């Protein structure tokens, strides 16, 4: 399966928000890195759940509760299949952030006295601050793989940093700020050869490529439904079964227990052990529809199309006066392009573009240390998904030129 501009135009019609005009203009949505838009099938699945299927899971011996429980279990199977895991290895969380926090509060007993955590220079705060704080709590050291001038990770330095003291290597697969795709195969192979645990922040990769946690060598992986056409408030933590079994729960309450007395409690089996309380059941209906939609288009085709868009954007935007692109190039990047203009602050730019219903993100992209490394406080970022077209990039270019002319 392949995608082209015509198909991207056709796909737009599946997304109600992209067909709604505001002051006579349809939205040009270039912020899918923050959250994706939702196709009608996902909206319908959530709507159907609340209209016809709503009940709490696991508790009721009646039709509606059984239906809700089936939706919940099926969603685990569908997400597991998507990433090459087993259903009991996929814990449903609120988002990637919660999945990574869960790990940072539960992995200590598995570290075997090792004292170092290794992360990359481009991490999103969600894959940096939890490890930084875990290190502070337990007297561990957080080591950062530096970035090279071409916006890739310094793999020579990485190989030196990962050693016999390394407990965890936690890497974002794709940088949300710059789009760089990291060689996680290699990083995780080095880590595993030395007995370290590997954590993949797949928030920006799972929506755009065929992810197989086993092939990549990830012991754990975290992703968010809302970045892959699904609803907000739902995320996933994959963990190798043998590791999850050794870990203690992070949150306590209903559903995660097998037996409780006033003095003690025993934990439920996986994944319930880590899923305390009433979860986002409607979200489970939504993500099943979202993954069905993604698979019908084909993740490989989607990723390849986004690279086409990135290549086009790099070529087209490159001659906007005063533009600086922060990109490792389309070969080594996913569909994300960060840039600054010499005469227009990213916030002013985003606000001007918004007047024409063009949505880009401006700011530090939850990667403040990286911005420091780049010597800027903020960049503007366009991020693509399957519904973006060459014309969206053209509109962005027109908007950028308008901004440069205005701020002169």
Ligand X SMILES: Cc1ncc(COP(=O)(O)O)c(C=O)c1O
Catalytic residues: 366
- Asked if 176 touches ligand X (CB under 6 A), the answer is yes
Tell the smallest beta-carbon distance from residue 367 to ligand X (Å): 8
Closer by beta carbon to ligand X, 88 or else 98: 98
Tell the smallest beta-carbon distance from residue 206 to ligand X (Å): 10
Closer by beta carbon to ligand X, 122 or else 341: 122
Q: Would you tell me how many other CB atoms lie within 10 Å of the CB of residue 231?
A: 22
Single out the residue of 65, 36, 116, 5 nearest to residue 286, CA to CA. 36
Contact 345, 323 (CB under 8 A): no
Indicate the DSSP class of residue 55.
Answer: -
Single out the residue of 183, 25, 184, 199 nearest to residue 111, CA to CA. 199
Compute the distance between CA of residue 401 and CA of residue 332 in angstroms, rounded to an integer.
27
Closer by beta carbon to ligand X, 97 or else 379: 97
Compute the distance between CA of residue 36 and CA of residue 230 in angstroms, rounded to an integer.
8
- Asked if 130 touches ligand X (CB under 6 A), the answer is no
Closer by beta carbon to ligand X, 106 or else 204: 204
Would you mind telling me the total number of residues written for the chain in this entry? 408
Residues 195-234 that bind ligand X (CB under 6 A): 201, 203-204, 224
Residues 108-127 that bind ligand X (CB under 6 A): 124, 126-127
Considering only residues 130, 172, 230, 239, which one is a binding residue for ligand X as defined by CB under 6 A?
172
- Asked if 333 touches ligand X (CB under 6 A), the answer is no
Burial bucket for residue 220 (CB in 10 Å: 0-12, 13-18, 19+)? buried
Q: Would you tell me how many other CB atoms lie within 10 Å of the CB of residue 127?
A: 28
Tell the smallest beta-carbon distance from residue 300 to ligand X (Å): 21
- Asked if 327 touches ligand X (CB under 6 A), the answer is no
- Asked if 180 touches ligand X (CB under 6 A), the answer is no
Compute the distance between CA of residue 145 and CA of residue 373 in angstroms, rounded to an integer.
12
Question: Beta-strand (E) ranges in 59-139?
Answer: 90-93, 116-120
Write the binding mask 80 to 99 for ligand X: x where contact by CB under 6 A, - elsewhere: ---------------xxx--
Q: What totals of helices (H) and strands (E) does the chain contain, helices first?
A: 14, 17
Closer by beta carbon to ligand X, 167 or else 202: 202
Tell the smallest beta-carbon distance from residue 177 to ligand X (Å): 8
Q: How many residues form the binding site for ligand X (CB under 6 A)? A: 13
User: Which residues in this chain contact ligand X in the complex, by CB under 6 A?
Assistant: 95-97, 124, 126-127, 172, 176, 201, 203-204, 224, 235
């Amino acid at each position: 399966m392949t995608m082209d501009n015509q198909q991207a135009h056709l796909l737009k019609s599946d997304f109600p928000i992209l067909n709604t005009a505001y002051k006579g203009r349809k939205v040009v949505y270039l912020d899918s890195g923050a959250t994706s838009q939702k196709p009608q099938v996902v909206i319908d699945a959530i709507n159907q759940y609340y209209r016809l299927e709503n009940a709490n899971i696991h508790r009721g011996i009646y039709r509606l509760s059984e239906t809700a429980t089936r939706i919940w279990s099926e969603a685990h199977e569908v997400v597991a299949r998507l990433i090459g895991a087993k259903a009991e290895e996929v814990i449903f969380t609120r988002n990637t952030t919660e999945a990574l926090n869960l790990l940072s509060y539960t992995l200590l007993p598995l570290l075997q006295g090792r004292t170092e955590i290794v992360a990359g220079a481009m991490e999103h705060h969600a894959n940096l601050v939890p490890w930084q704080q875990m290190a502070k709590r337990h007297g561990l050291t957080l080591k950062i793989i530096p970035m090279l001038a071409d916006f890739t990770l310094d793999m020579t330095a990485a190989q030196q940093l990962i050693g016999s003291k390394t407990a965890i290597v936690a890497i974002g697969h794709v940088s949300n700020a710059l789009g760089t795709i990291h060689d996680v195969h290699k990083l995780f192979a080095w880590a595993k050869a030395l007995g370290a645990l590997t954590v993949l922040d797949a928030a920006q990769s799972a929506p755009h490529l065929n992810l197989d946690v086993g092939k990549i060598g990830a012991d754990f992986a975290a992703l968010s439904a809302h970045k892959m056409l699904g609803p907000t408030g739902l995320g996933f933590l994959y963990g190798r079964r043998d590791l999850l079994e050794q870990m203690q729960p992070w949150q306590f309450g209903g559903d995660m227990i097998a037996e409780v007395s006033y003095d003690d409690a025993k934990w439920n089996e996986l994944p319930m052990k880590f899923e305390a309380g009433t979860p986002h059941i409607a979200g489970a209906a939504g993500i099943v529809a979202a993954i069905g939609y993604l698979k019908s288009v084909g993740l490989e085709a989607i990723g390849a199309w986004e690279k086409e868009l990135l290549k086009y954007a790099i070529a087209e935007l490159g001659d906007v006066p005063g533009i600086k692109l922060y990109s490792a190039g389309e070969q080594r990047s996913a569909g994300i392009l960060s840039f600054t203009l010499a005469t227009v602050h990213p916030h002013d730019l985003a606000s001007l573009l918004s007047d024409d219903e063009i949505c880009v993100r401006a700011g530090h992209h939850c990667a403040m240390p990286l911005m420091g490394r780049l010597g800027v406080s903020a960049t503007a970022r366009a991020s693509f998904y399957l519904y973006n077209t060459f014309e969206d990039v053209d509109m962005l270019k027109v908007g950028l030129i308008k901004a440069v002319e205005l701020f002169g």
